[in-house]
Amino acid sequence: MKFTKFGVKLFCFFLLVSLVPLGVVGTIVYKYVHDRTKDEVLKQLESTAYNLNARLNLLLTKRTYRVVDFSSDGFIRDCVEQMSLIPPGYSHIRDNLNTHLIINKKGLDPNILEVEILNDKGKVIASTAQEQIGKVKSHEDYFRVPFLSSETKGTFFSGDHRRSESHNELQLVFSTILTDKVLHRPLGIIVTKVKGNVLQEILDIKKYYTDKEGLTGSYGEVYVVNKDKLMIANSIDSGGVSFKQTVDTKVVQEVMATREEYSGIYENYKGMQVLGTALFVPEANWVIVAEKNINEAFLPLAKIKYFFIISGVGAVFLVCIFAFVISGNINSIIRKLIEGTRRIANGDLEHPIIIGERKDEIGELGESFNLMMNKLKESNEKNKQLFLQVKRGRDEWLNTFDAITDIITIHDKDFKILRANKAFYEKFNVNTAQLSDKKCYGIFHGTDMPWHDCPLEKSIESLQPEYEEVDDPKMGGIFLISTYPLFDEQGELYGIVHQAKDITFQKKVERQLVEKAKELKMVNKELEDFVYIVSHDLKEPLFAIGGYTSRISRVYEDTFDDKGKLYIDRIRVNIEKMSQKIKEIMEVLKIGRVTYNFKNNDIDVITEDVVKTLEGRIAKNKINVIIQDNLPVVLCDERRIKDVLSNLLTNAIKFMGEDKQKQVKIGCEENGGYYKIYVEDTGIGIQEEYREQIFKIFRRLNEVEAEGTGVGLAIVKKIVEQHKGKIWVESPIKDGRGSRFCFTIPVIERP
């Protein structure tokens, strides 16, 4: 079975979970047992060292008493006293003394090697060893210290000595002062030299130690080191190891230097790690050392260690089996899930995963997985539909984008073109790759900086749509450029739509129209001039005709019969009419020719004036005239506007008809840079189709008999136009009754 990474991790986790507590407990137990073992072994070693020290002290005390006992021997004291008094003839005394020493002193103690007596000069005067007699030993400690120092109270253990250079044999030397009986004057000293074996005896293995204690050489030992760092006794060498072994270890050095006890782990003279106690013996400057091999001292620990290792291995084995089974199970499920996921990733939503009948979380996981797959299938279907819709939308958008004949481009804020329609590519002959290299103004205008008044640049600044007409030969015509900023969800500008509409043709037509309008104006002017001149020129012949007609009728009054007279009258009436018409035509034309005196005039005042002038007619016709309060101050020619209002008010009176409620209202509204002044009546009204015509000269409607020539409104129109305004009529009442004449004057204030 191939394990998944998760399976391996799970396996490791089980292993870790089981081994860590085992390791922790093992370490704590090991440490505890180690410390306890160490304490106990050290306690045991300390006790051994103290016991040996006690035995050693006993030995030294016993031996010291022995020599003191010798010094109180009357015979010895007498002999020495005599020998000090009668030198050198004391050979018999000396012989007796020697014999005494050999028989009664050395002879009684097999451990005594030698007994000798030195006089106050340090010379050997008697000895159990004949050859020593006569030698001077004043330099020896055992002479100098008790004899010359008062601190020792005359008794001294001079410590360990080599017996001779040839033998490496140990002897212990004890000495004490000999005094005379009466005055207690020092006579010399008595010295006993004891076999080193006595020292070895107190370390006797069989007597004092058992194998159980482990100090008999199996893995531990007890030994004594003298001040020269030489081993002078050892529990494992019953024969004595005197002076054979140097023990210059750090522990011995330290104990000798500090004269204090040491316990712990250290390296012994064999280079072996040991647990040991070193005790200083001040009486002899010795160090008692009791130590055990560390490996063996901690042998119980090894058992614990093995226990934990075996338990660990056992636990690992069990855990391995357990973890293997569990993680193997989970592993196979994970594998199935991975395979299922891969299948989904590859678009296969038809095969659910099968992990068998399980009531646990894994079973739930499998069910959830299959549920998820079904949901995914459904959502996939929806997504497909959505995708198709989006694609269709996108295609439509693209097709529309490309179908538009205007050049449309989408730019970023750095004047780079992000997207462009077909019209653009056709116009500028660039490909998509080239777009990323170039700035838009380079492509559109062939410049290395934006076009002056560039709307794109303006939109980037204003964040508003901008428009500009651009006439650039490089673009090959006149274009109306429109730019529209694009914003993201956060309202940040991310691009600008740039539309270039070719308006070259419209512009051409526009210019032609302007030209045509100019021409028309000129023709009109010429026509007006012509009419004016003709009218003016007609006046004279008409006057002449009139004159001659009058003369004919006067001169031939009697010649004409009634019919002729009627004809002559008709000619005169028509000449009158024609003359009047010519006058009116010239009046209308004059309106366009006179100079206007534009000033700020209060319409309030002008209206009041006009109404006052027509007061009589208003009263006569019982018309209620309402003038709006606060009519504005307007830049206009006072006289002409008075004519306008007078004409309109006169017409309102004239065409009021016989309605009961006769009312004229004069008012003004300000609207889009214009004042709209109106004169509204409740009169007979004007039918829709005539509302334009009435402004033409001589045009009158025949509904009501009223005086007039049909010139008034033509003059009014001319005056309004001279003020750059418009005039029209509307019906304020629904059934077509009443008229509202409105005219505009721009709101311009002239200082």
- Contacts to ligand ADP by CB under 6 A: 651-652, 655, 681, 683-684, 686, 694, 699-701, 708-713, 739
| Cβ 578 to ligand ADP shortest distance, Å | 17
Q: Which is nearer to ligand ADP, 236 or 701 (CB)?
A: 701
For residue 642 the two structure tokens come to 């008075």
Residue 718, helix vs strand vs coil: helix
Please identify which residue in the block is written with the tokens 């996981």.
365
Torsion of CA 18, 24, 29, 30, to 10 degrees: 110
728: left (phi over 0), alpha (psi -120 to 50) or beta: beta
| Cβ 722 to ligand ADP shortest distance, Å | 17
| Cβ 657 to ligand ADP shortest distance, Å | 8
CA distance 479 to 91: 159
Write out the H or E segment, with its range, that includes residue 48. helix 5-71
Residue 691, helix vs strand vs coil: coil
Contact assessment for residue 43 and residue 368, using Cβ atoms and an 8 Å cutoff? no
Q: Which is nearer to ligand ADP, 410 or 656 (CB)?
A: 656
| Cβ 701 to ligand ADP shortest distance, Å | 3
| Cβ 642 to ligand ADP shortest distance, Å | 16
Q: Which is nearer to ligand ADP, 161 or 737 (CB)?
A: 737
| Cβ 468 to ligand ADP shortest distance, Å | 47
| Cβ 732 to ligand ADP shortest distance, Å | 11
| Cβ 568 to ligand ADP shortest distance, Å | 29
> How many alpha carbons fall within 13 Å on the CB side of residue 357?
0
| Cβ 620 to ligand ADP shortest distance, Å | 17
Q: Which is nearer to ligand ADP, 81 or 681 (CB)?
A: 681
- Looking at 361-497, list the stretches that DSSP marks H as alpha helix, in order from N- to C-terminal side: 361-403, 422-428, 432-435, 440-444, 455-462
Q: Which is nearer to ligand ADP, 358 or 590 (CB)?
A: 590
For residue 411 the two structure tokens come to 């730019």
| Cβ 721 to ligand ADP shortest distance, Å | 15
| Cβ 656 to ligand ADP shortest distance, Å | 8
Q: Which is nearer to ligand ADP, 162 or 700 (CB)?
A: 700
Residue 603, helix vs strand vs coil: helix
Nearest residue to ligand ADP, by Cβ distance, number only:
708
What is the length of the chain? 751
CA distance 229 to 233: 12
What order do you get walking across the sheet with 124-127 strand by strand? 124-127, 112-119, 186-195, 170-179, 155-162
Write out the H or E segment, with its range, that includes residue 155. strand 155-162
Q: How buried is 331 (Cβ within 10 angstroms: 0-12 exposed, 13-18 middle, 19+ buried)?
A: buried
Rounded to the nearest 5°, which phi and psi values hold at 628? -65, 145
Q: Which residues contact 594 (CB under 8 A, 6 or more apart)?
A: none
CA distances from 325 to 313, 330, 363, 536, 731 (A): 18, 9, 18, 128, 102
Q: Which is nearer to ligand ADP, 343 or 691 (CB)?
A: 691
Q: Which is nearer to ligand ADP, 350 or 705 (CB)?
A: 705
Q: Which is nearer to ligand ADP, 79 or 649 (CB)?
A: 649
A 10 A CB-CB count for 740 gives 18
| Cβ 698 to ligand ADP shortest distance, Å | 8
Q: Which is nearer to ligand ADP, 124 or 653 (CB)?
A: 653
Q: What is the DSSP string of 391-429?
A: HHHHHHHHHHHHH-SSEEEEE-TTSBEEEE-HHHHHHH-
